[in-house]
Amino acid sequence: MAVPSRLLHARRTGFASSYGIFQEYYSTHDFAGSSNIAVVGACAMGIMYMWIIPMFVLLKWYPRLRVWATPVGLTIMCLSLGLGSLATSITHLVVSQGIMYAIGGGLAWTPILFYIEEWWVTRRGFAYGAVMAGLGLSGAILPIVLQWLLEKYGFRTTLRVCALSFVALNVPVLFVFKPRLPLSQSTQSRSFDMSFWTCSNFLVLQSGSILQGLGYFLPAIYLPTFASSLDASSTESTVTVILLNGAACVGCFCMGAAVDRFDVTYCIGLTALGSSLTVFLLWGLATSLAPLYAFCLLYGALAGSNSSSWSAIMRDTKEKRRGADSGMIFACLSAGKGVANLFSGPLSEALLRAGSWRVGLAYGSGYGSLIVFTGATALLSGWSFAAKRFGLF
């Protein structure tokens, strides 16, 4: 079950996580000079994460709809890309490639929350890690294809090709993407126990996830443009996204396995400190591609693994609130990160408008505020480690 889930998750979020390639293209071609280009990518990922809550509620109340959720969601995603190819303004792209794509993606992926609970028990953390790793795997491959298509055919043909490929690649997956138990045996109560919102460990860890989400997606959006400012070619700029997402794939597997064995606050604290240091010491000091590529590898592996810790947060929360639904806990964690991502789009535009700092290296390149914000939020995301040491939960 983990394999088809990973494939579906990869194709759903891998495209959105490669938005940095579109960001660079839109900024220098059809929509050069337009504002809010980053909002398209922020909506695609942010709303997709947020949309899981209403979709989870709907599919729990009406379990017979689960079998239809994925094909309907994929159809909406394909339509959104097709409509996006007709866009003549950034507003059109926000609605199609951003909002509409996110709604379809959230609907397509939500059944996984029910199916993983049926297929995995003892190594559920690894299973979630494998599913999340699909994002990095796809995000490491897609940028090459997208860059070539954009340069050769433009964004309109690229979006249409992506829409058609979604159909061709995902239809076979639908035949193996299914529950383990018959619906009559797997259907549970339609009520929701939301008492986990009074659980201190959930609140602390949720806040850390939100803080991480505020800055996590910014490198994936702006690294290609930043690399271009270092006189990198289009191919060299694309490599930043490939390395970032490829390393995230490895990091998700490692985090998923680690939280099955170790305290989740140790795992989150270590990756938070590590990812923050890579931002300040590698991206902030980068004046050439070599340190920038090193940053992509380390930051992708460390920061990209954060969502794989959610299985342990779910497990620890259920130990204190046994009536809580694991899927709803996951959906709330996802929504928190989605809200943060949604705000990060316009926030990043404001940070870039803040102007250059009067210092050297990357801090004085015009991206200084963005770099500091990313590093600070990465560090603060691990505050659960200190919170547990001081007895807050």
Instruction: Name every residue whose Cβ is closer than 8 Å to that of residue 261 and which is 6 or more positions away in sequence.
Output: none
Domains assigned to the chain: 2-178+193-389 (1.20.1250.20)
| CA gap 241, 247 in Å, rounded | 10
| CA gap 267, 382 in Å, rounded | 9
| CA gap 95, 72 in Å, rounded | 18
Exposure string over 310-338, b if 16+ CB within 10 A, otherwise e = bbbbbbbbbeebeebbbbbbbbbbbbbbb
* Contact in structure between 296 and 243 (CB atoms under 8 Å): yes
| CA gap 282, 296 in Å, rounded | 9
pLDDT 10s per residue in the chain (393 long)? 444 444 444 444 557 777 878 888 898 888 888 888 888 888 888 888 888 888 888 888 888 888 888 889 989 999 999 999 999 999 999 999 999 998 998 888 788 777 766 666 555 555 655 665 555 556 667 888 888 999 899 999 999 998 888 878 777 766 666 666 565 555 555 667 788 998 999 999 999 999 999 999 888 888 888 998 898 988 898 899 889 888 888 888 788 788 888 999 999 999 999 999 999 999 999 999 999 999 999 999 999 888 889 888 988 998 888 888 888 888 899 889 888 888 887 888 888 887 667 777 889 888 999 999 999 999 999 999 999 888 877
